[in-house]
Amino acid sequence: MFEPYAIRTEADYRAALDEIERLFDAEPNTSEFDRLEVLTTLVAAYEQTYYPIEPLDPIEAILYYLEFRELSLDELEPIKQAMSY
């Protein structure tokens, strides 16, 4: 069983993720659920340090969404017209 400790290496990180996956369906108010909460907090802190997510520029976010959905800028026109006052 994985014992929670400070996550300092990629191996620690992977082990914590594996344990989170194992505990994912833990029932609230159980020791397993408490372990899950501790591990997710530790993983979040590690990810914030080593895998930070930079906020997207709003235009980049819109363009990414359009590309992901295979949409064009022209398809936003009805939304633009609906928002015009």
CB under 8 A, 24+ apart: contacts of 36-39: 38/4, 39/2, 39/4
Confidence of residue 1 (pLDDT cuts 50, 70, 90): low
User: pTM of the entire structure?
Assistant: 0.64
Taking only the tens place, the pLDDT of each residue in 27-41 is 999 999 999 999 999
Taking only the tens place, the pLDDT of each residue in 14-29 is 999 999 999 999 999 9
